[in-house]
Amino acid sequence: MRTQSKETQGSLNPATALQILKEGNQRFVNNLKANRNLLQQVNETSAGQFPFATILSCIDSRTSAELIFDQGLGDVFSIRIAGNILNEDILGSMEFATKVVGTKIIIVLGHTKCGAIVGACNHVELGNLTTLLNKIQPAIVSEQTITGNRTGTNAEFVNKVTDIHVRLTIDRIRRESPIVAELENQGNIKIIGGMYDVETGIVTFFE
């Protein structure tokens, strides 16, 4: 598998970038890794990087973007934070990744059995974690289909909140970053959500 270069990055569009990630996840699920020389990629990326995707995901130890999409060094910008929440620093990172470096796609990746989502559903308060979990509350409020047991013990409720949280995060990216929104409106990038299943390894994209 070749290392991304300025030329290969420039030849991609958002649709092909998404297809690369889909194919990578399929390899991961089937336990078939692409043939890469990672040490060679260290050398080939030493003078610069030309990743094709920006992925916002959770810090959960089971959700490493490079692994679940079978990507190598220099392929993706991986932004990881509990609950794949959004803040100004992350938006700035996305603007750098897309406008400056030229990635073609932004993925907001949630996952099943997310501890941050469970904590938010249980209204956990713990130091600075309280502020982080509060950013998930809009998704909890938006979930209106379940009226009983709206806590982290209800797997269906947690899954629905996780899904809504990804979608609301995408809405916020478009609303709070005119730079990223303009790139998407021009067709230069695509913003898409996805859900990683920690039991199967499968990523389901919201299309």
73-102 per-residue burial string, b: 16 or more CB within 10 A, e: under 16: bbbbbbbbbbbbbbeeebbeebbebbbeeb
Read off the pLDDT of each residue in 168-176 and give the average, rounded to a whole number: 98
pLDDT, position 207: 82
Banded pLDDT at 89 (limits 50, 70, 90): very high
Q: Is the separation of the CB atoms in 54 and 97 below 8 Å?
A: yes
The burial class, CB within 10 Å (0-12 / 13-18 / 19+), for 1 is middle
**Tokens in use for 57?**
């995901």
Banded pLDDT at 21 (limits 50, 70, 90): very high
SS3 19: helix
Q: Which residues are annotated as a binding site?
A: 58, 60, 111, 114
For residue 83, the one-letter residue type is G
Whether pLDDT at 2 is above 90: no
Give the strand pairing for 76-80 and 105-111: unpaired
Average pLDDT across the chain, whole number: 96
For residue 127, the one-letter residue type is G
DSSP 27-66: HHHTT------HHHHHHHTTT----SEEEEE---TT--HH
**Tokens in use for 168?**
């609301």
pLDDT, position 200: 98
Whether pLDDT at 168 is above 90: yes
Read off the pLDDT of each residue in 99-114 and give the average, rounded to a whole number: 98
- C-alpha to C-alpha distance for 152 and 154, rounded to whole angstroms: 5
Whether pLDDT at 149 is above 90: yes
What are the extents of the domains in the chain? 6-112+174-205
SS3 1: coil
Q: Which residues are annotated as a binding site for Zn(2+)?
A: 58, 60, 111, 114
SS3 4: coil
Q: What is the CATH number of domain 6-112+174-205?
A: 3.40.1050.10
**What is the value of pTM for the model shown?**
0.95
Of all helices (H) and strands (E), which one includes residue 204?
strand 203-205
Banded pLDDT at 84 (limits 50, 70, 90): very high
